[in-house]
A = this chain, B = another copy of it.
Amino acid sequence: MDLATLIGIVIAFALVIASIMMGSGLGLFIDVPSAMIVVGGTLGATMIHYPLKDVLGVFRVVKNVFLSKVWSMQELIDRFVEFSRKSRREGLLVLERDLWTLNDNFLTKGLQLAVDGMEPDSIREILEIEIDCQQERHRLGAEILSTMATFSPAMGMIGTLIGLIQMLRTMEDPSTIGPAMALALVTTFYGALAANLVCLPMAGKLRKRSQEETMIKEMVIAGIIAIVNGENPRIVEQKLHAFMPPHLRESRFQSGAI
């Protein structure tokens, strides 16, 4: 679980709901036709805008906003140092036994290629195409979410206009004006929530998450190449440290030989 996303959602929605509850019940703010216009209209406009498979792809990509990265950099370095030690002692093939213990597809695939005896350059090429594809998926996901953030307030306004026009045309009993206008404004409220608490910040997190994952995967590639080349565990650690900011680099080796 990505803690910040969770905390952010809880804080933002808890405060909005709490502040509503202080003045009235939540019931005033629940209106199905308003939700239909904002959610449906936004989805509809997004489907006219993007190909169907890209729109569906957003839902798969959005789950990354809630997941934290599988590996911390430090864990990954420790793992590669261990792999390097093993494979230098007993050969690359010994790593095959570890493959099934890893719960990360990218790392598993990369090690499999290494164990299969593929050349370092080919391994890098295959894995980098995979990174490119993932980055493109994430970039597209963030772009679609940003587009949705422009459509949802517009749909909110369209819903409010519908409510206002209906109210104004039929206002015979002045006592109904207030509630009708309140209902009309609920659509604007939904549109603003959808854009500012859902679409925009999720697009932002997706971009950040994509950067982090790309970095981690670049580290995995560097680690696998180092192991295939039979590098010394210390060198492996040093090469992977290059991906971290200097003040976080912490060697597991006592500074000593080499």
Residues of A within 8 A of B (CB): 2-5, 7-16, 18-20, 22-24, 28-29, 33-34, 36-37, 40-41, 43-52, 54-55, 65, 126, 129-130, 133, 147, 150-151, 154-155, 157-159, 161-171, 178-179, 181-182, 185-186, 188-189, 192-193, 195-197, 200-202, 204-205, 208, 212, 245-247
Contact = CB atoms under 8 A, between A and B. Distances in A.
Contact of A193 (B65, B158, B202): B158
A44 B162 contact: no
Contacts of A54: 208
Query: Which among A4, A50, A170, A202 has the highest number of chain B CB atoms within 10 Å?
Result: A4
Contact of A11 (B9, B10, B12, B40): B40
Provide the main secondary structure of the chain A interface. helix
A45 B164 contact: no
Contacts of A202: 48-49
Contacts of A5: 47-48
26 contacts: A4-B51, A7-B47, A7-B52, A8-B43, A8-B45, A9-B44, A12-B48, A14-B40, A19-B37, A20-B162, A22-B33, A24-B166, A41-B197, A44-B197, A45-B196, A48-B205, A50-B204, A51-B212, A54-B208, A133-B246, A154-B192, A165-B182, A166-B182, A168-B181, A168-B185, A169-B182
